[in-house]
Structure 1
Amino acid sequence: MNEITLNALINLFALFLVINKSKKEDAIRNFSLYLHQHFGISDNNDYLKLFEELLELYGIDGEPAFPVDMVEEAYKISTNIRSYLRKDEQVMVLIRFLELVKSGNQSKAKVLFETLSNVFEISKSEVDKFVAFIYYTSTDQINTPDYLLINCNEKPVQNKYRHIYEKNIDGELLFLRSSLIGNYIFIFHGKEYLTIDGNPIIPGRFYAFREGSIIRGPRISPVYYTDIAAGFIDQDLSPTFVFSGEKIEYKFKKSDNGLHRFSFSEKSGQLIAIMGGSGVGKSTLLNILNGNIPVNHGKVRINQFDIYEQKQDIEGLIGYVPQDDLLFEDLTVWENLYFSASLCFDHLPRSAIEQKVERVLHELELSSLKELNVGSPINKIISGGQRKRLNVALELIREPAILFVDEPTSGLSSTDSEKVMLLLKQQARKGKLIIVNIHQPSSVIFKLFDKLWVMDSGGRIIYTGNPLDAIIYFKTEVNHVNARNSECVTCGNVNPEQVLEIVETKKIDNSGNFLPERRFTPEYWYDQYLKNTKVKKEQIPGSAAGLPPTDSKKPGWSKQFRIFFERNLRIKFTDHPYLFINLLEAPILAVIVAYFTHFSETDKYIFFENKSLISYLFMSIVVVLFMGMSVSAEEIIKDRKILKRESFLNLSRFSYLNSKILFLVLLSAFQTFSFVLIANLILGIHDMMITYWLILFSVSVFSNLLGLNISSAFDSVVAIYILIPLLLIPQILLCGVIVKFDDLQSKNVEKDAVPITGEIMASRWAFEALAVNQFKNNRYMAHFFELEKEMAQARFRSEILTTELIGQVDLVDGLTRLNPEYSGDDKSSRKLQIIKNEIEKLDNEKVLPEFQFKESLMPGKFNFDIAELTKTHLNQLKDFHNQRYQKVKSEKDQLIYHLNKEKGDQFLSDQKMKFHNKSLEVLVLNSETTPFYRETPYGYMQKIAPIYKDPDFTNGRAHFLASQKNLFGYAIDTFIFNVGMIWLMSSFLYIALYYNWLRKMLRISIQYKNIKSFFENGKQEN
């Protein structure tokens, strides 16, 4: 209040006292008390001198110094100061004037009083309540629930006023609640010596009863603010509930820390603070009480419902605001609150949810900011205090019965801290139970608490009770001087830091220096607490069997999915740099990759001559792997704190993950489509748009899911981006281009197949599908592929395989006849086994009758006659496959003839130049390889023309660049099979993501290392 306003009030006081015909001495004394009580002014000589001059001016002892209409003068003064006084200050002035005229000429002051109430716009019903309060003589005057009476009547007269029994009080304490004041006021009538906040209470004079105030007397129990607040709340709000813990205990693994045995029982309608030094276990206690951490022993209940065993019953009753920021920085204030509310009120229409959002924003004074993006805690758009209030609003909009808040004032200014705590206090007044962690509260905040729990090291509760009594308790325990004084008698402030200073007092050595050891150990304080404290079990009639009502109801998984997806879209579309980069990244990379792989030896570009097509196929896969992983790697880790809250609310992880995946799938579809469209256009790849896109899109989705898995598993963005190259490089090396699979293949394998290291690489399946599809299904090769395949198989058998086998038979036969001992050595045995195995394979094709002397192809049985019979059979096979080759070649020649005749002589030549590629043909035919086959202990493994070779396996495995895969007796086209394999791998990653397997494996490995280290340290100590 400024000086001008105070001077106007002094003038108004003088007018009232003159009209009331008060004695000058009484008027000065009353005004002096008013200055001290209302403004805390002790040095008031200047104001008293001014007041005395005004009394004489208005004629308190006679006639006024000049003619004056005092009612008109009072009207002018009150009108002028009205805009400078808060409503509660206006009301307090009015009540004080009521008190002043009580002992004077009331009829003369009535007109002045009515003038003042009209100017201040105080209704007649409110004025009547104030009159009844000041002029109270009997309970008939206070027949409304806005009054509370404390007296020694054990059975008070049945009436609407509220009552608290105090058997030892000599007199009556009357409390009044008014919405205009915000707090309570009281007046005492009686002979009992009472004090409020250390100052004597004068009977017949009213006092404000604010948060943290205590009325004490030598013969009565202290009257706390929370007692009066509960006296009003309990009868207004129904049902009231009890939150209790019975001998709860929790210990961390291999540690005595956590929470030592603790019991409590607290009613609703309170603001409870948990105070203690850093690391004493305040957050652990909050997480135990909110159900995040199950106790090792004991029960935590809401009424009779166990919060751990009956989670479904209490769903929606508990709210938790962690210390971490839970806001989406790219959403507005309104959107943050709206999406949070949408996930909690399934039964409400959108309009009702929007109304709730508007109401909460208005209550929290955030309405003017609702269109602003919240920004990050570093790049602030709204202030820290506004962020904290919005974080609290995310839970308040659900209206939980119990709200836990971790460090609500951390990092805030004193003003913002008070705003946040007043907000929480208002919720307690509405019947909620609010429990907060706090480290160093100010005096104002400390007085807001109804209860205080003090914690010491190791998770020991060492005090529970009234906050101001805590100071007295600890000062008394250590024999402080003035131990009974909890606050400054002059200013009324308290020093909450005294509590922790006393608890953590250090020992002093003989030189007066502090020692590291504490004077009072945590065990000492805990033992004192157990001796001095008994938990009072609150019993609320009619409430123990049920639960407080809740309006919260989470949506089903499908609706949650829609809400999560809409929220994710809003976030992405608001982040313009994100959109810009991800929408332009693929087209730009397409131009870069296509430009540098657009090879031409002449001025005219010819697709057939492009030697860099394989590089393009390879780089396309690398690009989509990189884009898919980079866009998804931060998707979950940046929501980690928010996911904890949504897990606390039992929201669907399935819906959340699918909303992320759907967005990434849509983004990947666009990125791969734009990449293929632009790059294929530049390189002149025709008619392959859909197949290229499907393969690269499949790889991109695989990469998205791989990125989401590491995003879910790790807690550090740095670790994720270090890991990305470790995941990408194997995909690059083992796609079949950089490292040849033949070089990785064991020399002793029986069947030809890609090594297992290659089988688990999505890049291998993608590159093979692209290469095979481009070669097999281009417009030129589509005419001849099946014919070329049959010709290649027949030619390999007639010109290479049978010829080599005949030579080996001659070799073994010749060496055996020259040296009979040769027939029994390992080399002879191995060669005969190879000949036998290869003849069996050829006979299994059933093109000729089987060779009847296969069992004679072994040492001891093999001789010249068997050799001749074997060569005869092999020559028959050779002739058959040669004839087969000639027949198919003739069919191909006829096809070429008809096509040229129908389309023109240049048709096939033009198609070959436009759609076929020479370098790709070299790759899939392996035509630059000198050995056409590789000898193994089991036979000859074909290496020439792998695309024309049928797989050796029937379980889907095959050699690299096979044109088909055999599975369960069916031949499946490589393109279809490989795309299916990529989606199968993606499905595995999806399941791993849903169940968080990678994160669980990391935790298990860390635990294993810790256990191993523990035992190793134990052995060293022994």
Structure 2
Amino acid sequence: MDVFSQQPQGGLEIQADSAYDSAHEYLLQPDENVNPVVIDCDIMSYSVQRSGPSVLKRLVTMCGCGNEDLSRNMDEILRDIKSTFNPGEFVCLMGPSGAGKTTLLNTLAARAGGFLIGSVRLNDRALEQKDMRMVMKYIPQDDTLFSALTPRETLTYTAKLRIPNQSNDERDELVNSLMKRLGITRCADVIVGNELIKGISGGQKKRTSVAMELVTDPSILFVDEATSGLDSQTAEDVVRILKEISRAGRTVICTIHQPSFDIFKMFDTLLLLQNGQVVYNGSVADSPAYFADQGYPCSEWMNPADHFMKALGETPKGFEAENWTPRHQDTMMVGNRVIHRRQQGAWAAAWQEHLVASNAIDHSAKQKRRGSLTKHGLPNFPKKFDDDRFDDLTYPTSFWEQFMVLLERTLWMTFKDRQQFRSRLILCTCVSIFTGLTYFQMAKTQNTIQNRQSIVFSSILFNGMNMLTNTVILFPMERAVITREFQNGTYRMIAYYLSRIITSVTFLFAYVFFYVTILYFLAALFGAAKQYLIYLSAVFMVGLIAVTLGLIIGALVPSVNLGPSLVTPVLMPLIVFSGFLISRNEIAYPFFLIYYISFFQYAFNIL
């Protein structure tokens, strides 16, 4: 068990023995399926765009009528971060809110969209962003899972997408092994659920998220806020699982906000940030001694993680206002960018001074950190790494395999949502019956031409609006899951879009068939079977265009709520200038183009 003792400086010393490792000895051996990867991080500056000149000012300047500086102003988020993360190392990335924890994690995972001066290298090799996705896996703070699927189904589809040429028995064995390892066997066949539908617990969702990324035995695992929203016991269980994962030879880096002591002592390395700068980077066991040297000893009854957070609000010893003057915020010009750098904080300066005093700055961080692996009781991993895996990084499965699996998954999720399927089918049936009874068995005379045109136009309009309204929310609802899977290199985005379109079209045909068939025979619209097929095809094509338009709008809007609000502004001009409400000859010239754009008028003219 962990024991506490007072250091001569009055600080707390964390002494971890091998109780945990002895109980999990089988997990401390390197997994032969895992290629160990060393991450070398050397970030001089990472910045994001602050603001820029308006479009009008840019045009004026380009025309030579102004002297507006076209350079982009950048605000620095991360500054002077150098570190090395080793195989088998369990890293805690900690700091106050706004310290840059998630930004650093995203930068390491090649997900940050800002401007980076520096490098992130894997086994001394620089990889492109698309290649980085194939080597490392990222678990976001929110457990982004499909609510209609169960953990077993989630892992099965993930295995199908990421592991080619695997038999069903092999896949089932892998899924069962992962579920047993992460303790989700009892909830394997319970749907994930969401805010409206009861499903598995938050801890079980987190474990399922971790299991998804372990399907392919990744070398690197990034976890953002691993314990967010979990109770203390569940949080401890999740962190323990992550520790076990690292012991198989993976590099596991977690951002964490306020860990308990039991959680904090599980980590091997602490990288502490403040204002985007490193204020401590070393062993968890040595961290209390460092803060004691800075004048902030941790008592034996105090959680070191909480103590460090409080200490960062104070000033380290020797860096009081009368003894130390911070450097003024400077700027750096890189190309056409002006980077406004962060002012170096007292704790960051204290850490730099500590490195100089310990002669660490003259030695590469890589050698120092690699040498510390054995010191802290971590398993020895080979010094030579298999870099051949970096030579041909691509998607694990072909486009056709991805498309077929995604199509199967999307069809299954849509079918499982029986409440929505039934409600939409009932809606189409009721509207068609009501309209058919209103115009029941119309006579085929000159006086009923206007009524027939009204039926045709209303059927086109109803199906177009119905399909667009229901489709526009599909992608925003799935965006988080799709983004996670795409960024983790699971499949091509075009494969997802095609599977989603075909699924929507499949159910669209069912809705249109019920609607058109009931209305056609109740209202006695036409007589011949050929005319029925033309009517069915025209309404179906309107629905198909509406589905495609809905997916496009859904992909462009940032939230679920914004999509439906755009349906009316998009459809109204197409409806008004479709040739039914206003005849073609009476449409004003500026709006005549809308007539030819409107897909309603093409279907209306066909019928």
**How many angstroms does 1:265 deviate by?**
1.4
Within-5 A mapping of 1:672-683 = 672-683=512-523
User: Matched residues in 2 for 1:759 and 1:730: separation?
Assistant: 11
Q: Is the 8 A contact 1:358 1:367 kept in 2?
A: yes
User: Matched residues in 2 for 1:499 and 1:250: separation?
Assistant: 25
Q: Is the 8 A contact 1:212 1:448 kept in 2?
A: no
Q: Is the 8 A contact 1:344 1:552 kept in 2?
A: no
Does 1:380 find its partner at 2:219?
A: no
Q: Is the 8 A contact 1:625 1:728 kept in 2?
A: no
User: Matched residues in 2 for 1:241 and 1:444: separation?
Assistant: 28
- Which of 461, 477, 499 is the equivalent residue of 2:278? 461
SS at match of 1:253: strand
Aligned to 2:263: 445
Pick closer, same or farther for the CA change 1:553–1:717 going to 2, 3 Å.
closer
**How many angstroms does 1:449 deviate by?**
0.5
**How many angstroms does 1:369 deviate by?**
1.0
Aligned to 1:505: 314
Within-5 A mapping of 1:531-610 = 531-533=353-355, 534=361, 535-538=364-367, 542-543=383-384, 546=387, 554-598=396-440, 605-606=443-444, 609-610=447-448
Aligned to 1:408: 226
Aligned to 1:626: 465
**TM-score w.r.t. structure 1 length?**
0.48
Within-5 A mapping of 1:352-431 = 352-377=170-195, 379-431=197-249
Within-5 A mapping of 1:212-227 = 213-214=15-16
Aligned to 1:496: 305
**How many angstroms does 1:522 deviate by?**
5.8
Does 1:756 find its partner at 2:593?
A: yes
Does 1:664 find its partner at 2:493?
A: no
Aligned to 1:768: 605
Does 1:241 find its partner at 2:37?
A: yes
Say which is worse superposed, 525-534 or 721-730, in terms of deviation.
Answer: 525-534
Which AA in structure 1 matches 2:216? R
Aligned to 1:527: 349
User: Matched residues in 2 for 1:333 and 1:235: separation?
Assistant: 27
**How many angstroms does 1:299 deviate by?**
1.6
**How many angstroms does 1:385 deviate by?**
0.9
- Which of 161, 166, 179 is the equivalent residue of 1:348? 166
Within-5 A mapping of 1:185-200 = 197-198=4-5
Q: Is the 8 A contact 1:469 1:486 kept in 2?
A: no
Q: Is the 8 A contact 2:440 2:523 kept in 1?
A: yes
CA displacement, residues 130-181 of structure 1 (integer Å, 9 cap, x when unaligned)? xxxxxxxxxxxxxxxxxxxxxxxxxxxxxxxxxxxxxxxxxxxxxxxxxxxx
SS at match of 1:672: helix
Pick closer, same or farther for the CA change 1:380–1:522 going to 2, 3 Å.
farther
Pick closer, same or farther for the CA change 1:236–1:762 going to 2, 3 Å.
closer
Q: Is the 8 A contact 2:428 2:515 kept in 1?
A: yes
**How many angstroms does 1:486 deviate by?**
6.3
**How many angstroms does 1:348 deviate by?**
1.7
Which AA in structure 2 matches 1:623? F
User: Matched residues in 1 for 2:416 and 2:47: separation?
Assistant: 45
Which AA in structure 1 matches 2:575? I
Q: Is the 8 A contact 2:141 2:226 kept in 1?
A: yes
User: Matched residues in 1 for 2:30 and 2:486: separation?
Assistant: 35
User: Matched residues in 2 for 1:289 and 1:455: separation?
Assistant: 15
Structure 1 gaps, min length 5: 1-37, 41-195, 201-210, 216-222, 508-520, 748-753, 771-1022
User: Matched residues in 1 for 2:440 and 2:494: separation?
Assistant: 44
SS at match of 1:367: coil
User: Matched residues in 2 for 1:317 and 1:693: separation?
Assistant: 49
**How many angstroms does 1:445 deviate by?**
0.3
User: Matched residues in 2 for 1:271 and 1:668: separation?
Assistant: 49
Pick closer, same or farther for the CA change 1:224–1:461 going to 2, 3 Å.
farther
Within-5 A mapping of 1:874-889 = none
User: Matched residues in 1 for 2:548 and 2:203: separation?
Assistant: 38
User: Matched residues in 2 for 1:553 and 1:709: separation?
Assistant: 25
SS at match of 1:293: coil
Q: Is the 8 A contact 1:474 1:503 kept in 2?
A: no
Pick closer, same or farther for the CA change 1:555–1:541 going to 2, 3 Å.
closer
Q: Is the 8 A contact 1:321 1:391 kept in 2?
A: yes
Within-5 A mapping of 1:3-82 = none
Aligned to 1:277: 96
Pick closer, same or farther for the CA change 1:617–1:497 going to 2, 3 Å.
same
**How many angstroms does 1:506 deviate by?**
8.8
CA displacement, residues 757-809 of structure 1 (integer Å, 9 cap, x when unaligned)? 21111111111111xxxxxxxxxxxxxxxxxxxxxxxxxxxxxxxxxxxxxxx
Q: Is the 8 A contact 1:407 1:436 kept in 2?
A: yes
User: Matched residues in 2 for 1:548 and 1:613: separation?
Assistant: 66
User: Matched residues in 2 for 1:225 and 1:625: separation?
Assistant: 62
User: Matched residues in 2 for 1:711 and 1:239: separation?
Assistant: 39
Within-5 A mapping of 1:812-827 = none
**How many angstroms does 1:264 deviate by?**
1.1
Aligned to 1:62: none
User: Matched residues in 1 for 2:292 and 2:415: separation?
Assistant: 59
- Which of 470, 478, 495 is the equivalent residue of 2:287? 470
SS at match of 2:286: helix
Pick closer, same or farther for the CA change 1:240–1:395 going to 2, 3 Å.
closer
Q: Is the 8 A contact 1:250 1:258 kept in 2?
A: yes
Which AA in structure 2 matches 1:695? A
User: Matched residues in 1 for 2:128 and 2:434: separation?
Assistant: 58
Q: Greater relative contact order (Cα 8 A, min sep 6): structure 1 or 2? A: 2
- Which of 326, 334, 342 is the equivalent residue of 2:144? 326
Does 1:712 find its partner at 2:555?
A: yes
Give the number of the structure whose alpha-carbon radius of gyration is greater: 1
Structure 2 gaps, min length 5: 8-12, 51-73, 317-342, 356-360, 371-380
SS at match of 1:297: strand
User: Matched residues in 1 for 2:308 and 2:463: separation?
Assistant: 61
- Which of 547, 565, 568 is the equivalent residue of 1:725? 568
Q: Is the 8 A contact 2:191 2:199 kept in 1?
A: yes
Does 1:686 find its partner at 2:493?
A: no
**How many angstroms does 1:233 deviate by?**
5.5
User: Matched residues in 2 for 1:496 and 1:346: separation?
Assistant: 43
User: Matched residues in 2 for 1:546 and 1:502: separation?
Assistant: 42
**How many angstroms does 1:742 deviate by?**
2.0
Q: Is the 8 A contact 2:574 2:594 kept in 1?
A: no
Aligned to 1:306: 126
Within-5 A mapping of 1:93-108 = none
Which AA in structure 1 matches 2:310? E
SS at match of 1:696: helix
**How many angstroms does 1:467 deviate by?**
2.1
User: Matched residues in 1 for 2:223 and 2:143: separation?
Assistant: 12
User: Matched residues in 2 for 1:372 and 1:505: separation?
Assistant: 49
Which AA in structure 1 matches 2:287? A
**How many angstroms does 1:288 deviate by?**
0.6
Aligned to 1:734: 577
Aligned to 1:336: 154
Which AA in structure 2 matches 1:716? S
User: Matched residues in 2 for 1:646 and 1:236: separation?
Assistant: 24
Q: Is the 8 A contact 2:476 2:558 kept in 1?
A: yes
Which AA in structure 1 matches 2:454? S
Pick closer, same or farther for the CA change 1:698–1:346 going to 2, 3 Å.
same
Pick closer, same or farther for the CA change 1:315–1:720 going to 2, 3 Å.
closer
- Report the aligned-residue RMSD: 3.2
User: Matched residues in 2 for 1:258 and 1:693: separation?
Assistant: 57
**How many angstroms does 1:592 deviate by?**
2.1
